[in-house]
A and B are shown apart, each in its own frame.
Chain A
């Protein structure tokens, strides 16, 4: 840095004096990524972040043509898909990327769970991560309604009705989400506001916290890969530029996959929602809600005198809470408890996979 009073030489020095860039580059140089046999899992966080960026960019592009009223929403998406140059590409990438984002985020979370990277001092990193997952599911649920098609209409009807079954605050939640007693154009406007303003604002805050914490604590090295256990010296690679370049290879592959999916399987628009038409056969939500959907289907009308949907809702609530509390459940380093948690995690994953498969097998068999 040049001394005060002496004019700086060159643009870089000029900017550095005003913005303190060298402190940032020093920080970037300090960050390293450990190398071991589980290093591959470290790419998933960056991949999730990349797909989120794709969502922000394509989402802003869709905003230029989308209209958020019941009379115009479906037609405006149709216009994007058929008339706007590359509109089909932008919308299809937005939809495909949303699905991949949830998938990669889930795998990212499960890898962190299995590698026990949530342990002290990274508990809060885990909390913010689970919160981000819930926010992404909120994006998925609110965005699903925006094209105002039949599937979305009934998915929203069911989803908000489930929220309405919550004891005590249910009715408030249902009316708050629907903007009234029924799913109407008012619901669409509300979901639009939630999708493009409320959730992005919240996500920005939680994402910033998540990234700061990752930066602060560095990458977690699984116990089995500690130098004391492996008998080999710990190896690492600088984050900038080495790891970032590898990240970038993954990201460019993701762009290719997205473009291919969008071109080969453009996202369907379906039929315009008609509040006075029966729910069509074969109706189902997005795949990441399918296991809950199937659970509600499997549950009988009454379980021990309680309405089946309430039992399901209670189970989902407890599941979500347990997910958040994972680092606290595994505290104290008791191997038995830690092992039980891993078994429970696998049971949940196997159940969710089986329920999801049941939804798609049902659909295939008609």
Chain B
């Protein structure tokens, strides 16, 4: 029964758009799954003690890369995607390799990566003649007289996007499982505890960290491409810089970055919170959502550092253990 549960869940998700839910709930589901995919990518390295505050840079490479290639050089997303992934891997390598070789960890790693995220934002703003600067950019539409274009990766139907992003989200969870079950995860967990001891028993610290960093960065870049293609609008504030980087960190933490569905729960939670506040208060009251968001993050980190799902699972396990001992006695 418990084995079948995930499949039932996926099946329910898959038929949801066919059940005739409106455009707005469908849009929310798409955004939840999209951010869930990105947060999962971040948590892949975040939970192993590598707190990156610069994933906004990878998101920006994906989002701006695909739009710029299409608008300036008429390069199809299908062609630019592999190039962007390669570029992301290269950037992740260039920043990761020295960091891990020189044992830049903890605060220092967070602040070096923070600089990376800001570099991406500044470059986008500085190249305003090409990127549109702070005003953002819109990919040239290929949907003028058709409702979908495979070559431009543009679809007017939200249902199509739902299935595409559902697929990527499942892929993200699959990646998580792959990493989780590998030897590398055990080694990386050990590294996050005691780096020198690991190196002394023959674990190649730099290589392992670099591997998971590149995977995480590439997933984030992919998320950026999907974001740009779905929203058909990118803006330096929403896809790069410290703001979105912190958003990823907190989404993962709020849900629980040590369990597979944690980042997803975090994405659903933060997004629904923002939407509910917006619906309840309208557009006139600015800032209440950010206020509550910040307040909850503070409370989460102080009182529930394992996140919503992590804490729930821990409570569930202690209850089960208690009833088991009660039954044994």
Please determine whether chains A and B interact with each other in the same assembly. no
